[in-house]
Structure 1
């Protein structure tokens, strides 16, 4: 059972620096559900589902990112439960193809 779902878009130098793999690792450490993917506009998009406090911690971590990244902005808003259906079947957290 998830307490909250947040949709997050991270902008800056966040592609080509291992940002998606880092998000996946951090989300799995926190036992969050969801997914992450690159967007063609150069941003990274993610959906996190779980306890609100843990999601807030994850969003704070996204503001820092991995060492090679430069995060300029992190926007987040409420997500919808059906967004979790984009995950790979059987995955708790997925890295999705670029959109």
Structure 2
């Protein structure tokens, strides 16, 4: 059974290839959903997949790619049904 979570990632997370790296990691883990930059400087994502894969994605998001400086990740229940993982335009 799949689980879904909505993530909001705070810190220096834009302009450091966070979305691109998250897409690669999601594909490695078999995660579906989406990721996008927000106007307030955060990155927002909806992730869906096997509980172990979702947990691994959350752990990855707590540090992100090499150039990112993640301060915190807010995690809430997610909704929707996704068949792929994609980068969306800025919200």
Find out whether 1:27 has 2:26 as its counterpart.
yes
Provide the rounded CA distance (Å) in 2 between the counterparts of 1:30 and 1:12. 24
Structure 1 unaligned runs (5+)? 85-90
Give the equivalent residue in structure 2 for 1:15.
Answer: 14
RMSD: 1.2
The alpha carbon displacement at 1:64 in A equals 1.1
The alpha carbon displacement at 1:53 in A equals 1.4
The alpha carbon displacement at 1:18 in A equals 0.4
The structure where helix makes up a greater share of residues is 1
Aligned pairs, number: 91
Find out whether 1:94 has 2:86 as its counterpart.
yes
Find out whether 1:54 has 2:46 as its counterpart.
no
Give the equivalent residue in structure 1 for 2:37.
Answer: 38
Structure 2 unaligned runs (5+)? none
Tell me the TM-score normalised to structure 2 length: 0.94
The alpha carbon displacement at 1:3 in A equals 1.2
Tell me the TM-score normalised to structure 1 length: 0.87
